[in-house]
Amino acid sequence: MNILVCIKQVPDMESRFKVAAGSTWFEESDLAWRINEYDEFAVEQAVQLKEQNAGADLTVLSIGPARVKEALKKALAMGCERAVQVVDAAAHEKDPFQIASAIAAFAKDKNFDVIFTGMQSQDRGSAQVGVLVAELLGIPALTTAVEFAFADGSISVRRELEGGLKAVVKAPTPALVSCQLGLNTPRYPTLPNIMKAKKKELLEVPVADLLQEQPRTQVLSLAYPEKKGSAQILEGDVADLVEKVIGILKEKTAVL
Amino acid sequence: MKALLVGEYREGKLLESSYELVGFAKKLGIEFEFFLVGSKDQVPQVDGKLYLADAATAKEYNPALHKQLIVAAAEKAGAETVVFLHSSYGWDLAPRVALALNAAQFSEVVEANAEGYLLPACNAKLRRRVKATTGKTVVTLQVGAFMPAMGGAPQVEELSVTGSGDCEFIGYEQAEAGEVDLGKAEVIVSAGRGVGKPENVAMIQALAKALGGEYGASRPVVDAGWVPHDRQVGTTGQVVSPKLYVACGISGAIQHLAGMKKSEFILAINTDKDAPIGEVADVLVVADIKQFAPALTARLQG
Ligand SMILES: Cc1cc2nc3c(=O)[nH]c(=O)nc-3n(C[C@H](O)[C@H](O)[C@H](O)COP(=O)(O)OP(=O)(O)OC[C@H]3O[C@@H](n4cnc5c(N)ncnc54)[C@H](O)[C@@H]3O)c2cc1C
Ligand SMILES: Nc1ncnc2c1ncn2[C@@H]1O[C@H](COP(=O)(O)O)[C@@H](O)[C@H]1O
């Protein structure tokens, strides 16, 4: 069995983002980077599938600049066999269609049985790349998986719908699965596995080798939203904050 | 510009959120026709043309067949834009339709004008304004971003499809009923990832008790198994509107906000002054929840 998992590196969402005037992307200096939360579930599921199938092979792929090597190394330490960095210093300017085209071009002749992606990236939240990769490769895409099983060449997932409802769906491999939060419990890389990961293969492929497509979208601007909310912000010493909050609750709500 | 609006139908019912699509088209003043895989017995109240495929044959979930139908309807309608909701149905289908139409796609649109679309980025901390460089566009709308609108009786054109698609829909599974109905609680105190570790859920429970309410949680806290699913607030959990909602260490992702923003009074405690929860909160206390919650509980009890 041949498995691929695609991961994106994203900034920590608790960061204070700085956007230069006229810029269409935030400043990258001073940000902490991590694996897209959804993709951690994808990596864990891919590693579990590899472990359940003796002889299975597992590649992790990320498109981006040099910093994405850190994300790839973490995925290797979690149990992926080899990593591929599709080197692209301007990955943030590519639209989901282009990212998906590059991934599909890489995967095209490699006979992956199962491809895992996250359901969406936290910075862009487009929820497009996974489905597009599957469509470009002409294989089924099962999206928003909160439960995954593989047996007899066929994948079964529980798709999460709204309000606690799930749909059970099935498809034969080769297929793509997009992973939703809570699919599993992503493991922490252990120290021995981090050491072992250092010896694993980390391949570099220039994006130009894979991508010919032009973008279909253009970003005009990026900015902080106008504050519509009128939240009263309280700061200071905890004891004072408690008194203020008690006062507000007494005045504005009927619960005290 | 002409749009094809793709409605949603589940467990034999038209989903009310489908009317937000009409609200979007009306707000922008664009011409539209409507598409639904549903039933003749439950025709949506929309003006103009309705392309209707039967869920008995096309199934409620069968992306390959639905894609074929939508592409056919878009062609018949002469639509440049195909509009979905950003929902489990919409985000699954939209990229398939976009690729088939060689269209640009925008996800989770919150606003639109002649210049382009406005989309959230980085957990709604930022907003991007974007436009297509292609003739055709597929968009998904953030649920709740546009006011629903209805019309009269549509003129129905039936569409049919053959084939079986590439994946099989086995059936639905309902969430198990839990121990609590958060919908009835007057006060809800919810734990978010900011509480840090499972042991700290106890201080959220204690605060809920001191305020005479129930405790709830955001999704990561439920996914991690710290709190049972029936206490999850949000699109994939409960939708609540208590007299007082206290969000403890919750950033305010749209899927969480959708479950609690109608609460009468919202108090948020967060170390990040810029957390998007500030958009809906009445009061945002900038503090470490591990210090603030026990202090407030002690004061309420004392
Ligand atoms: C299809 C879909 C459906 C979803 N459904 C739901 C749903 O139903 N409900 C839901 O909640 N989410 C849902 N989510 C997930 C949602 O997008 C967010 O990931 C989630 O709500 C984040 O939870 P959080 O705010 O607890 O965690 P985070 O976003 O990680 O935020 C933690 C917050 O705690 C603050 N913090 C950190 N330390 C402290 C401290 N010591 N004291 C005080 N504050 C602190 C941080 O500043 C931050 O704001 C869904 C996502 C998708 C894609
Ligand atoms: N630059 C990238 N490199 C590798 N995988 C990516 C990249 N961008 C997106 N993906 C994958 O596609 C999924 C959906 O991303 P998006 O469509 O941007 O929301 C992510 O969860 C990743 O699995």
pLDDT at B178 over 90: no
| Partner residue facing B281 (CB), from A95, A156, A231 | A231
Q: Residues enclosing ligand 1, CB less than 6 A?
A: A 14, 120, 181; B 192-194, 196, 218-220, 232-237, 249-251, 253, 255-256, 259, 269-272, 275, 288-290
Provide the sign of the torsion angle of the four alpha carbons A158, A161, A166, A172, taken in this order.
negative
- The helix or strand, by DSSP H or E, that contains position A106, with its residue range, turns out to be helix A96-107
User: Lowest mean pLDDT: which of A73-82, A236-245, B135-144, B176-185?
Assistant: B176-185
Chain A contact set for B219 (CB, 8 A) = 181-182
pTM of the model: 0.95
What pLDDT score was predicted for residue A110? 97
For A6, the 3-state DSSP assignment is strand
Report how far Cα B291 is from the mean position of its chain's Cα atoms. 33
pLDDT tops 80 at residue A227: no
Q: Is the pLDDT of residue B169 over 80?
A: yes
- How do residues A183-210 score in pLDDT, each as one tens digit? 999 999 999 999 999 999 999 999 999 9
Average pLDDT, chain B: 96
Average pLDDT over residues A212-229: 89
Query: B129: which chain A residues are within 8 Å (Cβ-Cβ)?
Result: 219-223
- For residue B191, the surrounding DSSP H or E stretch is strand B187-191
pLDDT digits (tens, 9 = 90+) for A139-193: 999 999 999 999 999 999 999 999 889 999 999 999 999 999 999 999 999 999 9
Report the separation in Å between the CA atom of A7 and the middle of ligand 2, taken as the mean of its atom positions: 6
Q: What is the pLDDT of residue B302?
A: 85
β-strand pairing of B111-112 with B117-121: antiparallel
Average of pLDDT values for B162-170?
94
Does A163 contact chain B (CB < 8 Å)?
Answer: yes
d(CA B287, CA B293): 10
Q: Give the three-class secondary structure for A206.
A: strand
Under an 8 A CB cutoff, do B115 and A220 touch? Answer: yes
* pLDDT tens-digit readout, B72-125: 999 999 999 999 999 999 999 999 999 999 999 999 999 999 889 999 999 888
C-alpha of residue B252 to centroid of ligand 1, in Å: 6
Residue A113 C-alpha, separation from nearest chain B C-alpha, in angstroms = 15
What is the SS3 assignment for A238? helix
Residue A192, pLDDT score: 96
For residue A230, what pLDDT is reported?
A: 76
For A253, the closest of B123, B265, B299 (CB atoms) is: B265
Ligand closest in space to the Cα of B200: 1
B189 C-alpha vs ligand 1 centroid, how far in Å? 14
Q: Chain B within 8 Å of A191 (Cβ-Cβ)?
A: no
**How confident is the model at residue A8, as a pLDDT?**
98
Residue A229 has pLDDT above 80, yes or no: no
SS3 A147: strand
CA of A121 to the centre of ligand 2 (A): 6
Q: What is the pLDDT of residues B233-271, one digit of tens each?
A: 999 999 999 999 999 999 999 999 999 999 999 999 999
Tell me the mean pLDDT in the region A6-35: 93
> Is B283 close to A164, i.e. CB distance below 8 A?
no
Give every CB contact of residue A137 below 8 A, 6+ residues apart in sequence.
A104, A107, A108, A115, A174, A176
Residues in contact with B207: Cβ distance below 8 Å, sequence separation at least 6, in sequence order? B189, B215, B246, B248, B293, B296, B297, B300
Mean of pLDDT values over A126-145: 98
> Which residues from chain B sit within 8 angstroms of residue A126, using beta carbons?
105, 107-108
Cα–Cα distances in Å, from A85 out to A71, A109, A166?
Answer: 10, 18, 35
Q: B129 pairs with which residues across the strands?
A: A221, B118
Per-residue confidence (pLDDT) for residue B175, from 0 to 100: 85
Chain segment B189-233, per-residue pLDDT in tens = 999 999 999 999 999 999 999 999 999 999 999 999 999 999 999
Element of type H or E holding A205: strand A202-206
- Residue A42 pLDDT more than 80? yes
Q: Which residues of A201-238 are buried (b: 16+ CB within 10 A; e: fewer)?
A: eeeebebeebbebebbbebebbeebeeebebeebeeee
Q: Output the pLDDT for position A50.
A: 98
Q: What is the pLDDT of residue A225?
A: 83
Mean pLDDT for A10-37 is 92
Ligand 2 atom nearest to CA at A129: 17
Mutation probe of ligand 2 site: the residue of A13, A85, A99 with most atoms within 8 A of C-beta: A99
Rounded to an integer, the average pLDDT of B7-15 is: 96
Which residue of A lies nearest to B234 if distances are taken between CA atoms?
A: A163
Q: Which residue of A has its CA nearest to B208?
A: A255
Residue A127's pLDDT band, with cuts at 50, 70 and 90, is very high
What ipTM did this prediction achieve?
Answer: 0.95
* Closest listed residue to residue A95, CA positions, set B3, B79, B131: B131
Ligand (nearest to CA of A88) = 2
Residue A53 CA to ligand 2 centre (angstroms): 26
- Give the ligand 2 atom nearest the CA of A118: 21
Mean pLDDT of A49-57: 97
Residue A167: closest C-alpha in chain B: B172
State percent of chain B over pLDDT 90.
95
pLDDT band per the 50, 70, 90 thresholds, residue A6: very high
Identify which of A169, A167, A197, A179 has the alpha carbon closest to the alpha carbon of residue A78: A197
What confidence tier does A9 reach under pLDDT thresholds 50, 70, 90? very high
Ligand closest to the CA atom of residue A100: 2
pLDDT value for B187? 98
Q: Are A169 and B168 within 8 A, CB to CB?
A: yes
Tell me: pLDDT of B300 over 90: yes
Q: Most A CBs within 10 Å: which of B126, B189, B193, as the mutation test of the A interface?
A: B126
